[in-house]
Amino acid sequence: MAFSGVNGKGPIMRIIEKAGEMQQQADSWRREGKRIVFVPTMGYLHAGHLALMEAAHRHGNLVVISIFVNPTQFGPGEDYQSYPRDLERDLKMAEGVGVDAAFLPSVEEMYPAGFQTFVEATEVTRTLCGRSRPGHFRGVTTVVMMLLQIVKPHTMILGEKDFQQLITVRRMVQDLHVDVAVIGHPIIREADGLAMSSRNMYLDDGQRQGALRLNQSLKLAQAMVDSGERRAESIVEKVSGHIGGAPETQIDYVQVCHLETLRDVTTIDEPALLAMAVQVGRARLLDNCVLQPPT
Amino acid sequence: MAFSGVNGKGPIMRIIEKAGEMQQQADSWRREGKRIVFVPTMGYLHAGHLALMEAAHRHGNLVVISIFVNPTQFGPGEDYQSYPRDLERDLKMAEGVGVDAAFLPSVEEMYPAGFQTFVEATEVTRTLCGRSRPGHFRGVTTVVMMLLQIVKPHTMILGEKDFQQLITVRRMVQDLHVDVAVIGHPIIREADGLAMSSRNMYLDDGQRQGALRLNQSLKLAQAMVDSGERRAESIVEKVSGHIGGAPETQIDYVQVCHLETLRDVTTIDEPALLAMAVQVGRARLLDNCVLQPPT
Chain A residues with CB within 8 Å of chain B CB? 19, 23, 27, 30-31, 33, 110-112, 114-124, 141-142, 145-146, 149-150, 152, 171-172, 174-179, 260-261
A210-223: average pLDDT:
98
A147-161: average pLDDT:
98
Task: Please answer yes or no on whether B176 and A145 come within 8 Å at the CB atom.
Answer: yes
- Closest residue to A19, CB basis, from B152, B172, B177: B177
- Closest residue to A177, CB basis, from B31, B123, B146: B146
**Mutation target among B175, B259, B261, B263 for the A interface, most CBs of A within 10 A:** B175
Task: Please answer yes or no on whether B179 and A149 come within 8 Å at the CB atom.
Answer: yes
What domains sit in chain B, N to C, each tagged with a CATH number?
A: 2-185 (3.40.50.620), 198-290 (3.30.1300.10)
- How far CA A186 is from CA of A127, A195, A289, B116, B196, in Å, comes to 22, 10, 10, 26, 56
- In angstroms, the CA B160 to CA B293 distance is 20
Task: Please answer yes or no on whether B177 and A146 come within 8 Å at the CB atom.
Answer: yes
Crossing angle for the helix pair B136-151 and B163-175, to the nearest 10 degrees = 60
In this model, does residue A221 exceed pLDDT 50? yes
pLDDT at B66: 98
A190-214: average pLDDT:
96
pLDDT at A158: 98
pLDDT at A6: 46
In this model, does residue A7 exceed pLDDT 50? no
Phi/psi at A10 (5° precision): -70, 170
Q: Which residues of chain B have pLDDT under 70?
A: 1-11
Of the candidates A290, A37, A7, A295, the one whose C-alpha atom is nearest the C-alpha of residue A155 is A37
Phi/psi at A56 (5° precision): -55, -35
Of the candidates B84, B9, B17, B73, the one whose C-alpha atom is nearest the C-alpha of residue B46 is B84
The DSSP secondary-structure symbol of A35 reads -
- In angstroms, the CA B161 to CA B163 distance is 5
pLDDT at A3: 67
Q: Dump pLDDT digits (tens) for A31-52.
A: 999 999 999 999 999 999 999 9
Give the other-Cβ count within 10 Å of A168's Cβ: 27
The alpha carbon dihedral of A93, A99, A100, A103 has a sign of negative
pLDDT at A194: 98
pLDDT at B295: 82
- Closest residue to B146, CB basis, from A118, A123, A176: A176
Residues of A in contact with B258 (CB under 8 A): none
pLDDT-based confidence at A295, cuts 50/70/90?
Answer: confident
pTM (two decimals): 0.96
A158-186: average pLDDT:
98
- Closest residue to A179, CB basis, from B33, B149, B175: B149
Of the candidates A28, A282, A42, A288, the one whose C-alpha atom is nearest the C-alpha of residue A151 is A28
| A124 Cα to chain B: minimum distance (Å) | 9
**Mutation target among A149, A151, A177, A182 for the B interface, most CBs of B within 10 A:** A177
pLDDT at B7: 46
pLDDT at B83: 95
Q: How many helices (H) and strands (E) does chain A have?
A: 9, 11
Residues of B in contact with A118 (CB under 8 A): 119-120, 122
pLDDT-based confidence at A5, cuts 50/70/90?
Answer: low
